[in-house]
A and B are shown apart, each in its own frame.
Chain A
């Protein structure tokens, strides 16, 4: 039996600056379509990537522009896996409390919606923290 082929993967490293967001989301959308997702789903993946990279730049690095953000796109047989790495302050998965959209509608306020969009638009979202780097992994399955 042949060993399973390694998924095709490529990486992009950007400076921690919001001016590169459009470049990254454009890439995420195109990659989603290459992976076999339809246009509407690809748009949702690109938004999830925007939110994840924005979180890194604004929260993990607190807006500091002289760091890096690594983005890896991994084309699995039936899924697109996107990993985002940085060496700023990471999120702990067990401490994340997603806002309730119903509560937002009843009591409108600013902020806190990015993680909710990520979780709604992707099939899986995970955060890992290690001394070397922090990771956000998002998976969208191709159905």
Chain B
């Protein structure tokens, strides 16, 4: 099994990224390239669905941190949903839960985005 595989789906105009596996120093470039690819194609609202993300190290957090400003400058955002307990602990420990909107499920996140768009 690969350390990381990433799927991207379009749902209600939102780019939903589904990483599966581990984001660490070995896989971070793949993760970063997937995010950069979305930005380059003009997708600035990105929902990171973490239900199959087993863990993310500071390398992965740095990748998100490095791209958030250009995304928000374009009026977009990175949102998070379905975090496993240990992944939530990492985000929360570093204060990232104050920086990013975190939702329990993908549906809750998409609903919040659709309400915001109205």
Contact = CB atoms under 8 A, between A and B. Distances in A.
Contacts of A47: 55, 57, 86, 90
Interface residues of B, number: 26
The dominant DSSP class at the A interface is: helix
Interface bracket on A: 20 to 34
Nearest to B63: A110
Contact of A18 (B26, B55, B65, B96): B26
B99 interface: yes
B57 A110 contact: no
Nearest to B68: A108
The dominant DSSP class at the B interface is: helix
Contact of A116 (B24, B26, B85, B94): B94
A21 interface: yes
B36 to A, nearest CB: 13
Nearest to A114: B58
B29 to A, nearest CB: 10
Given A25-B22, A110-B62, 20 more contacts: A18-B24, A18-B25, A25-B55, A43-B55, A50-B57, A54-B25, A54-B59, A101-B93, A104-B94, A104-B95, A105-B95, A105-B96, A108-B68, A113-B58, A113-B61, A113-B62, A114-B57, A116-B94, A117-B57, A117-B58
Interface of B: 3, 22, 24-26, 55, 57-59, 61-63, 65-66, 68-69, 85-86, 89-90, 93-96, 98-99
